[in-house]
Amino acid sequence: MKILISRTDKIGDVVCTLPLAGALKAWQPACRVGFLCSAHVQPLVAVCANVDEIIVREELEAAGLDRAAERLKKAGFDAVVHVFPVPWIARLCSRARIPLRIGTLRRWYHWLTCNRRVMVKRSGSRLHEAQLNLLLLAPIIGPAGFPLKSIPLLYGLTRVPELHPTLAKCIDPARFNLVLHPGSRGSAPVWPMEHFVDLAARLPSERFNVVLSGNGHEREQIRTAFGVAACRLLPETDLSGLISFIAASDGFVASSTGPAHIAAALGRRVLGIHTDRPPTHPGRWAPVGSRASTVSAPDPADISVEQVLAVIIAWDKKGPQRL
């Protein structure tokens, strides 16, 4: 059986969707899994060993509906799972006559384009985003509950690119390599930049190698806030480079943001700093990993530097333990 998973939005959303590929491989190891994603997250999907084929949304859009439908038809997919509902993609898969087309019951256009519809109510749910996504597999693998602790086993992020020498210079094997990622690109309320600055200043430099990460306009904000602080700003890199650097690090601290989900999926120590208010509370959007944790408050600014510092110091006492 050949199954296409469609999720074309942001990094964190895609990380929370990759467990579907792992669940399908666990259900039927011989099945083939395709993933339809946006170009900017293609390097992330490429790291997942459970994905056999990647289709880029922008390439389909450039081809136009008829040619794109012909491409999907030739690919021979038996089923498509619309995890992130997009009307054009739903219409495309219907035009390609993919036999089993699964979508949420709560989108009117899925009544016209999908032949199996699943009730997934995200608002107010107590389930994590990854668990909600997995509900959409029911028409293929049957009704199956996935406890949160099972999610890390389903990521499959094992095809990590080799660390570029420029980025490797930012890793110190003699110290705990801690990545601080202050930005979130507006996806959720953030821990204030000044708290990150204070945190970096309190970490003993003989034990911690602190590396700051951020792209685009975030880099200038970081430079301005940190000034000449004794920590490095990671050289500007693409998503593949960021993934390889996170995999080489020992710990990662951020607000609710995509790179925190990547770090958790890679098995790094992660501390997510969240609001505990919907819709971005930890119950729905915490980074899920074997060594991931969160701290939360109605306003992340009320989370003290001492709280975060205590978690990091405890990490260091356990040693790097890179996997």
Residues paired with residue 101 on neighbouring β-strands, in sequence order: 80
pLDDT (average), residues 28-49:
98
pLDDT tens for each residue of 264-290: 999 999 999 999 988 889 999 999 999
Question: Would you say the CATH fold of 166-317 matches that of 2-154?
Answer: yes
**Three-class secondary structure of residue 154 per DSSP:** helix
**Residue 234: how many CA atoms within 13 Å on its side-chain side?**
33
DSSP 108-148: TTHHHH-SEEE----TT-SS-HHHHHHGGGHHHH-S----G
Percent of the chain with pLDDT over 70: 97
The predicted model gives 128-141 an average pLDDT of: 96
- pLDDT (0 to 100) of residue 320: 53
Domain boundaries, the chain: 2-154, 166-317
Q: Which amino acid is at 3?
A: I
- pLDDT tens per residue, range 213-227: 998 888 988 989 988
What mean pLDDT comes out for the span 74-93? 97
Would you state the CATH architecture of domain 2-154? 3-Layer(aba) Sandwich (3.40)
- pLDDT level of residue 140 (50, 70, 90 thresholds): very high
Q: Quick: pLDDT tens for 283-292.
A: 999 999 999 9
Would the pTM count as exceeding 0.75? yes
Mean pLDDT of 135-164: 95
Q: How much is the average pLDDT of 124-139? A: 94
Mean pLDDT of 93-108: 96
Rounded Cα distance, 186 and 257, in Å: 9
Average pLDDT, the chain: 94
The answer to which of 66-75, 148-157, 175-184 has the lowest mean pLDDT is 175-184
d(CA 119, CA 105) in angstroms, rounded, equals 5
pLDDT value, residue 122: 85
Within 143-281, residue ranges assigned H as helices are 165-168, 193-202, 217-226, 239-248, 258-265
CATH domain 166-317 topology: Rossmann fold (3.40.50)
